[in-house]
Amino acid sequence: MWVLRILTVLTPMLASVFASAETLTVIQRSIADEKAVFATVESISVVPARSRIGGTVAQLHVREGDAVTRGQAIAVVGDDKLVLQMKSLDAQIQALQAQADQAQIDFDRIEGLVERGTLPRVKLDEAHTALNVAQNGLRAKTAERAVIQQQLNEGQVLAPQDGRVLKRLVAVGSVMLPGDPVAMIAQQDFKLRLRIPERHARSLRAGDRIRVEGTELSEEPVKWGVIDLVYPQIEEGRVIADAKVEGLGEYFVGDRLRVWISGAKRPAFVIPSTYVRTRFGIDYVELLRGDGTIEVPVQRGRDDPTPDLPDGLEILSGIRAGDRLVKP
């Protein structure tokens, strides 16, 4: 008799406990039937840093793997002929400067004599013409020297964009012609290039999400990316697609990663893995039945993490739509 009294007292208490427990209603959802493919880390663009003048490589400031910024000098190409031309022009400029100074002195002297009436005005015009000729010759040589100076400045090979040096193509002392590449620069904004068998790529579209195994990228368990371009040409039975994934900036170009893509959609039951309890190799979930719970064995499927359900787990059998699960 006392047992019935105890149960009568405990039943409302247990009911309130189960009512306050964390529950989940099972619903059928459409999930992606993922396929594993390999992708390579590649740069959006790889461009050469070229020499603008011919000459000999005098200095190299970078090596493979160095990070560079746009406009950074990565090498210096020197040409001895330009240095000799600069010295010749400097001497000519000094001579023309002396002539211009003398022409200015003559003009000032003749101008004073003309004002006093000692010389006719035609002499002043001749002196003014000689001064203009001397000054214009000086400006012409100065401009010619500026051209040679610009050519010397163009001996600096500049990085065309921010990125990383993939390959250095020359050594100090190498002879260069105008336009010869000095180094290959990979733009730092890396991407993933996927090569997908065409039977798996029929439903692939730009904007689809992909999942990258985070153990190779960082300490995060899962990394997500988005396909931004699917190339229309099939090469050797494979479709090429590019995807953007955050955190690829420090990767080696050409590194291979395993990527999961969506091949098709299918219905399934996906619940958080925290609702599943494993005992002696058998998986169980707790179903809410009336005022209590019962344990039901289930068959575990594959992990199905999504951005809104990072610990998602597919359940193949044992539950159905509408069941209310209680978190252990």
Say if residue 179 is in the same domain as residue 70.
yes
CATH number at residue 170: 2.40.50.100
| pTM score of the predicted model | 0.52
3-state secondary structure of 45: coil
Q: Count the Cβ atoms, other than its own, within 10 Å of residue 56.
A: 15
Say if residue 198 is in the same domain as residue 161.
no
Say if residue 210 is in the same domain as residue 228.
yes
Q: Strand order in 181-187's β-sheet?
A: 46-50, 181-187, 163-168, 67-68
CATH number at residue 203: 2.40.30.170
Q: At what angle are helices 121-153 and 80-116 packed, to 10 degrees?
A: 160
Look at residue 309 and tell me if it is in a domain: yes
What are the residue ranges of helices labelled H in 28-153?
80-116, 121-153
CA distance 248 to 250: 6
Say if residue 127 is in the same domain as residue 111.
yes
Mean pLDDT of the residues in the chain:
80
CA distance 169 to 187: 17
Map 128-177 to HEC letters: HHHHHHHHHHHHHHHHHHHHHHHHHHCCEEECCCCEEEEEECCCCCCEEC
Partnered with residue 158 across adjacent β-strands are 73
Look at residue 1 and tell me if it is in a domain: no
Q: Which residues have C-beta within 8 Å of that of residue 290, sequence separation ≥ 6?
A: none
Phi, psi of 202 (to 5 degrees): -65, -35
User: Is the sign of the CA dihedral 17, 20, 22, 26 positive or negative?
Assistant: positive
State the pLDDT at residue 251.
55
Each of the 328 residues of the chain gets a pLDDT tens digit; together they read 433 343 344 444 444 444 445 788 888 887 777 778 888 888 778 889 998 888 888 889 888 888 889 989 999 888 778 778 888 888 899 988 999 899 899 888 888 888 887 778 888 888 889 889 988 989 998 898 888 888 788 888 999 888 888 889 988 888 888 889 999 998 877 888 888 888 777 777 888 888 887 544 455 556 788 888 888 888 888 888 888 887 665 556 777 888 888 766 788 888 888 888 888 889 888 888 877 788 889 888 877 777 677 788 888 888 888 888 888 7
Identify the CA nearest to 186 among candidates 15, 62, 24, 290.
62
How is residue 281 written in tokens?
């190799």
Which of 264, 290, 307 is at the close of a domain?
264
Say if residue 212 is in the same domain as residue 311.
no
Look at residue 2 and tell me if it is in a domain: no
Identify the residue whose tokens are 């001064």: 131
State the pLDDT at residue 136.
92
How is residue 104 written in tokens?
């200015």
Say if residue 138 is in the same domain as residue 181.
no
How is residue 123 written in tokens?
């002499």
Say if residue 70 is in the same domain as residue 165.
yes
Q: Which domain holds residue 120?
A: 80-153
Q: How many domains does the chain have?
A: 4
DSSP 264: E
Phi, psi of 290 (to 5 degrees): 65, -120
Say if residue 116 is in the same domain as residue 93.
yes
Look at residue 4 and tell me if it is in a domain: no
Q: What is the DSSP string of 184-236?
A: EEEES-EEEEEEEETTTSTT--TT-EEEEEGGGTSSSSEEEEEEEEEEEEEET
Say if residue 102 is in the same domain as residue 65.
no
Question: Strand 292-303 to strand 256-272: parallel, antiparallel, or no bridges (unpaired)?
Answer: unpaired
For 52, counting Cβ atoms within 10 Å of its Cβ (0-12 exposed, 13-18 middle, 19+ buried), the class is middle
Look at residue 288 and tell me if it is in a domain: yes
State the pLDDT at residue 15.
42
Say if residue 203 is in the same domain as residue 259.
yes
Look at residue 216 and tell me if it is in a domain: yes
Look at residue 88 and tell me if it is in a domain: yes
Look at residue 6 and tell me if it is in a domain: no
Say if residue 88 is in the same domain as residue 219.
no
CATH number at residue 17: 2.40.420.20
Which of 247, 264, 281 is at the close of a domain?
264
Which of 139, 169, 187 is at the close of a domain?
187
